[in-house]
Structure formats: structure tokens, C-alpha cells
Chains A and B, each alone.
Chain A
Amino acid sequence: MSHHIIKADEIHFTYPDGFHALRGISFLITHGESVAIVGANGAGKSTLLLHLNGLLLPTQGGLRVGDYPVTKETAHHIKRSVGMVFQNPDDQLFMPTVYDDVAFGPLNLGFPPEEINGRVQQTLETVGAAHLVNRPTHRLSGGEKRRVAIATVLSMTPDILILDEPTSDLDPGARRRLIELLGTFHHTKIIATHDLDMVLDLCERTIIINEGSILADGRSAEILRDEALLKKSSLEKPLRLQGCPVCGKKKKTRR
């Protein structure tokens, strides 16, 4: 399966209220790539991601996912191969219990009923939420909701995984586990985030979006070192690439 590509060609998108959120975005993401989409608040990251599985259709320009151009007619094919985790887990969880929510996707995709149980258990274990299986979704903590939201998508075994700010709300341990989990996922990944340290861990490639257009697109290692570029889009160098504040001070006082 070498056709899990995503190709955007001068996409424009205007919200119904007239807000011009995307202003000409083009890129090609090939199979197996792991791409970070970063940018300031309101830059248009979430809006762009909603296009990638056909939830929003570009007002201008074209988008292809895999073998299909994204249109109303092909949207259901695309949803099958593209798994999307929303920025707000409350938008993602809608069934009364965690079990039902994780089972919802597989049931709709027509997996055999006798497999559903095992699949739900297994995905919940991968995200470390197996103990939540019978809890009502609206009574979970923020981080627990996040894990379950990721499980609801993983249970459908998508070819392309799209995550909108997956590490916000997670405690450091859960964040580390999620990064490791995503590292084992060898399909195409697209992650919108402000967590640039995670980008260093997971994504070879970074796209910076600023006010609806692409400011930079290239290897993460290079882009994340370019302070002028980062500053322009309200970002900071990842902590790991900054000098150690403690040792730095010591040197100064000695001199």
C-alpha cells in the first residue's frame, strides 16, 4: 500500500461568516511520512486538518488523499482511511460509555461483532486506559478523555493518522507514552501541535503555518533551529535545543 499520499494544491478556505482562514496552501505528504504542523493560535492548523478527511471542503484549490480527490462523493472512502483526533476531546466522545465510544467506529466499519470486544480492549490497553472501559465518557478527567479519544480512532486502524494537539492535557508520563505509541505507528502521521519537543521526537518534517499560508516547510531539525523564523510565528526553540539555563548561569558567575 504505497498510495497513502496527501496532496494539497493551492487550497483556500473561507468560513461561512466570511473569515478567510486558509490562503493558498500547497504540500505533498508521501506514504509513511510524519509531519508536524505548527503555528500561532488561530493560524489555521485545525482548519487545515479538517480538510484532510473531507469534513471541510476547500472553497478553492484541490486536495487529493490517496487515490481520491476530496469531494462530497468520495468523503466516505476518505474517512475510512483517515483517522482524525480532534483538538477538543469533548467533540470526539459522544456515546454513553467508553466501551461504546471505542466500539462505535469498528461497528460502523462492519468489523465482525465477535472481534469488537477484543479490539476495544486492545486499543484501550495501548493508550493506557483499559481500566476506564465501563466509565461514562463525560465524567473522565481531561487527560483520560484525551486517551480515550485517541483510542476511538486507533480502534479503526486508519492508514493515515491526524492528531490535533494530542499532548495538551496529558501528564508528562502519559505524554511520553503517547509519543512512544505514535512512534510505533508506521503509517502517515500529521500532527498539529505547539509541543515542539514532541516534534523533534516524532516528525522528520515540519510545516509552519502563519495566518493561513505556509511560512516554511522542511526538515524539523533545521526549521526548529531557525530562531528568527520561529519568532515570526509566535513559537520558541524547543527546550532541548536551548542551552541549559542552570549551567549557563554558573559559567557567567565564575567569570
Chain B
Amino acid sequence: MDLLSYRQTPVHRFDPRAKLIATLIFLFCVVSFHKYQLSNLFPYFIFPVYLVSAGDIPAGYIMKKIIVVSPFALMVAVFNPIFDTAVVSHVGHLGVTGGWISFFSIMTRFALTVGTALALIACTGFYGICNALGRLGMPRVFVVQLLFLYRYLFVLVEEAARMLRARDLRSFENRGRGLRVYGPLMGTLLLRSIDRAQKIHRAMVCRGFDGTIRITGTHSFGMREYVFLALWTVMFICFRLWNVSVLAGDFFVRLFS
């Protein structure tokens, strides 16, 4: 993921702060919609699509990640169609219940927010984002927490992968694979991750880490950043105030009739 952030495209070169603020406004607008508002959400896809295409990020990769975490959103959304059965509109002869609308609304919002967050990381780098948060005035303690959380997440995953591989090499015919092995394995994983985390922290301290993240390549908040931020902000707010999908639909209907 972080490797993607080393490409050199115009999106990558924007100051991380501009991208971060734009994304925050974006998230705020998307989340603030009412749960029955579905069509209003569609215009917002332009932002993640812009980041992905202008940042030259493999779209399939982002999709895959969204699908991996989508069960969480499904769990939240799945009860809506069951409990909310009031019919709110009709498509042809079929009644569409409020439950289904809010189900799709939740899923769309989920795809928008997660997709944009991933795209932001891919074209900025997590260190860049943390750096931006710090420069925007977020207390340093939180920034460092976030940084370490991210760093140790990888440690945990790597450690788990290594242990599973070692186990698979020494377990035969399903012996040594059962749930009984998982208990101790999880315990060891936790202890090993803590140990590795300590060692990494040690290595960082050894090389002069004092709680500030310094990154090569200085960005500055120039004209380009202001234009970028202003354009997107205006667009998000317009999408929020007017239902652009409906307007566009009306426009085409009028055009052809």
C-alpha cells in the first residue's frame, strides 16, 4: 500500500494537507445524508475515481480491499430491509421498501468513505497523512499513536503469516490444525507482536526518534493546493445542496422529449 505512495503523479505531489482537508470535507458531506437519500450520493464517486485515476492507482486493488472489509458494513445494513418494510416508492409494479433504500444507502456510503480513505493513503502515504495531521495542529501524542498503530498492524500481520507458515510445514493430515492449536497460537502471536513492537521502537529510538516524524521532500501549501481544495470543496457542497443525479436525469429527459 505504502509503495503506491511513492509514485510521482500530480496527485502525489499535492501537499498532503490539501488532500487531507478535501477528504475530510468529503467524508463529512457523505456521512451527513439522511438514510433514505440514495441518489444524492452517486455524484460523490467522482472524488475517489479522480484520486485513483489521476494518481495512477490500480483500481482493482482498492476494490479488493473494500470487499475484504465489506462484511462489517453488511452486518450493519442487513437488518434494514427486514425491519423497515414500509413501501416508499414504486419501480414499475414492484414496491421498494424504505429498508432496501437505506440498505443500499449504507453500502454506498461505506464504499465511498472506505474507498476514498484507501485512495488517499495510496496517493499520500500513511507517514504523509500523519505528518499533515501534525502540521494541521493535531496533538503530537495522537499523531504518534496513529503512526505506531499503523506500523504495528503490519508487524502483527507479518508475524501471524510467519507462524501459520511454520505450523503448516509441521502439521500433517489435518493433525495440528484444529481449534485446539489456535488458542496457544493466538496467545503466542500476541506476545511475539508485543516483543517485536518493542524491538522496533528500540530501533527507532536508537536512531534518534523523539516523537516527531520527519520526512524528506518538503511540501508547501501553494497556489495549486488552494485551487485544488477550493474546487473540490465547492463541488462537495453543491452535491450536498442539490441532488445532482436528479437534476441530470431531468436535464436529459427534457433534452430528449
A94 touches B208 (CB 8 A): no
Question: For chain B, what secondary structure do more than half of its interface residues adopt (helix, strand, loop), or is it mixed?
Answer: helix
Contacts of B215 in A (CB 8 A): 100, 107
Contacts of B203 in A (CB 8 A): 86, 91-94
Report the count of interface residues on B (CB-CB < 8 A). Answer: 24
> Chain B, 198-220, contact with A by CB distance < 8 Å: what is the 0/1 string?
01101111111110101110100
What is the CA–CA distance of A114 and B125 in the complex, to the nearest angstrom?
Answer: 22
What is the CA–CA distance of A79 and B134 in the complex, to the nearest angstrom?
Answer: 25
B6 touches A134 (CB 8 A): yes
Q: Which residue among B199, B207, B214 has the maximum number of chain A CB atoms within 10 Å of its CB?
A: B207
B204 touches A94 (CB 8 A): yes
CB neighbors of B among A129-173 (8 A): 134, 136, 138, 152-153, 156
A103 touches B216 (CB 8 A): yes
State whether A108 and B200 are in contact (beta carbons under 8 Å apart), knowing that A96-B2, A97-B6, A138-B158 are contacts in the complex.
Answer: no
Report the count of interface residues on A (CB-CB < 8 A). Answer: 31
Contacts of A99 in B (CB 8 A): 216
Contacts of B2 in A (CB 8 A): 96, 136
A96 touches B200 (CB 8 A): no
A136 touches B199 (CB 8 A): no
A94 touches B125 (CB 8 A): no
State whether A108 and B216 are in contact (beta carbons under 8 Å apart), knowing that A55-B202, A97-B6 are contacts in the complex.
Answer: no
What is the CA–CA distance of A97 and B125 in the complex, to the nearest angstrom?
Answer: 12
Our count of residue pairs bridging A and B at CB distance below 8 angstroms stands at 65
B207 touches A108 (CB 8 A): yes
State whether A84 and B200 are in contact (beta carbons under 8 Å apart), knowing that A97-B6, A107-B216 are contacts in the complex.
Answer: no
B206 touches A84 (CB 8 A): yes
Question: For chain A, what secondary structure do more than half of its interface residues adopt (helix, strand, loop), or is it mixed?
Answer: helix
B216 touches A113 (CB 8 A): yes
Taking a contact as CB atoms closer than 8 A, the residue among A76, A107, A134 that contacts B214 in the complex is A107
What is the CA–CA distance of A84 and B206 in the complex, to the nearest angstrom?
Answer: 7
B167 interfacial by beta-carbon distance below 8 Å: no
State whether A108 and B214 are in contact (beta carbons under 8 Å apart), knowing that A91-B203, A94-B151, A94-B203 are contacts in the complex.
Answer: yes
Contacts of B200 in A (CB 8 A): 91, 94
Contacts of B247 in A (CB 8 A): none
A107 nearest CB neighbor, chain B only: B214
> Chain A, 75-90, contact with B by CB distance < 8 Å: what is the 0/1 string?
0100110001010100
Contacts of A152 in B (CB 8 A): 207
What is the CA–CA distance of A134 and B215 in the complex, to the nearest angstrom?
Answer: 15
Q: Show the binding face of B for A, using Cβ within 8 Å.
A: 2-3, 6, 125, 127, 151, 158, 196, 199-200, 202-210, 212, 214-216, 218
7 A–B contact pairs at CB < 8 A?
A94-B204, A96-B2, A96-B125, A97-B3, A99-B216, A108-B209, A113-B216
Besides A79-B207, A138-B158, A152-B207, 13 more A-B contacts (Cβ < 8 Å) are A55-B202, A76-B208, A94-B200, A94-B204, A96-B6, A96-B127, A99-B216, A105-B207, A107-B215, A107-B216, A113-B216, A116-B216, A134-B6
